[in-house]
Amino acid sequence: MSISIKSDADIEKLRIACRLASEVLDYITPYVKPGVTTEELDTLCHDYMVNVQGCIPAPLNYAPPGYTPYPKSICASVNHQICHGIPNVRPLKKGDIVNLDITTIKDGWHGDTSRTFIVGETSILAKRLVDVTYECMWLGIAQVKPGVRLGAVGAAIQKHAEKNGFSVVREFCGHGIGQVFHEEPQVLHYGKSSDGPMLQTGMTFTIEPMINAGRAAISELPDGWTIVTKDRSLSAQFEHTVRVTQTGVEVLTVSAGAPPCPPQVVLTP
């Protein structure tokens, strides 16, 4: 399958969907605190997307081949859950980390982003894992420009994660995005900088590293969706949707409340 190249008009529509997705995370941030359930967070996000933004929550009833329809509007992955955690009635407690993954559909275009939140005070290990995962995402983004192999993204992420004593989940990756939720290319978060397709202006895809405090091995829960670390170690994730510009990269999933790029990471716009 070929990688689609988006026109300037396409990018403008995608930019709107992506900003709205980021604004959902801005909106929900004050509610992420001890005692709240991920089901309550899901309801708040759903109502905001549908009633305020006029968006469609892309995860709701999403059913790729071999999967039952996803039952909620967001993914909420707590502590050792890596991704695709289904919101439930378990209250968050002080010290938890939780990744909230938001995908909106606006006028047929998808915006996809996630952040890992720390619930109150947490351990030094959890804080460090979250910080390093955030840096990994941005170091991957910083590799994006025309003429570079896509593998450079994963190589930069893997190097930083492993240098800090963490591991990279292999089975799940970033993806092309646009009018289709998941399209080519697959964006690995590990590998060699010489691997993968050559990046071209107009490509759009997500970069969403999942970094584990322990080993990289994973398991799937009986719900058919939730992925956890096999050793039950903590896992963190951050995600942005980006486009390849004529000279570098534009991060599309930005909003007023989006955390900034770390100062040590330099982007080419």
What homologous superfamily is domain 8-251 in, according to CATH? Answer: Creatinase/methionine aminopeptidase superfamily (3.90.230.10)
Percent of the chain clearing pLDDT 70 (strictly above): 100
What DSSP designation does 262 have? P
pLDDT greater than 80 at residue 262: yes
The Cα 119–Cα 230 span in angstroms is: 23
pLDDT digits (tens, 9 = 90+) for 70-88: 999 999 999 999 999 999 9
Please report the pLDDT score of residue 1 as a whole number: 60
pLDDT tens digit string along 180-217?
999 999 999 999 999 999 999 999 999 999 999 999 99
Computed over every residue of the chain, the mean pLDDT equals 98
| Torsion sign (Cα): 241, 55, 26, 114 | negative
Given CA atoms 152, 158, 161, 164 in this order, what sign does their dihedral have?
negative
**DSSP code of residue 145:** -
In sequence order, which residues have a C-beta less than 8 Å from that of residue 222 and are 6 or more positions away? Answer: none
Between CA 20 and CA 49 the distance in angstroms is: 8
Mean pLDDT along residues 227-231 = 98
**Which of 9, 251, 201 is CA-nearest to residue 107?**
9
Residue type, 231: D
pLDDT for 4 equals: 96
Q: Higher-confidence residue: 1 or 163?
A: 163
Place of tokens 């991704």: 83
Q: Do the Cβ atoms of 210 and 237 come closer than 8 Å?
A: yes
β-bridge mates for residue 187, sequence order: 174
What band does 36 get if pLDDT is binned at 50, 70 and 90? very high
Cα separation of 119 and 96, whole Å? Answer: 5
**pLDDT for res 196:** 97
Predicted confidence (pLDDT) at residue 59 exceeds the cutoff of 90: yes
How do strand 210-212 and strand 167-168 relate by DSSP bridges?
A: antiparallel
Calpha distance 192→187 (Å, rounded): 12
Q: What does pTM read for this prediction?
A: 0.97
Distances in whole angstroms, Cα of residue 25 to Cα of each of 48, 190, 227, 238: 10, 27, 22, 12
Give residue 100's identity as a one-letter amino acid code: L
Give me the pLDDT at residue 123, please: 97
Is residue 161 within 8 Å of 132, Cβ to Cβ?
Answer: yes
The values of phi and psi at residue 36, to 5°, are: -80, 145
The predicted-structure confidence for 126-148, as pLDDT tens digits, reads as follows 999 999 999 999 999 999 999 99
258: three-class secondary structure by DSSP: coil
| Euclidean distance between CA atoms 7 and 5, whole angstroms | 7
- Rounded CA-CA distance 115/97 in Å is 10
**Distance between CA atoms of residues 34 and 13, nearest Å:** 37
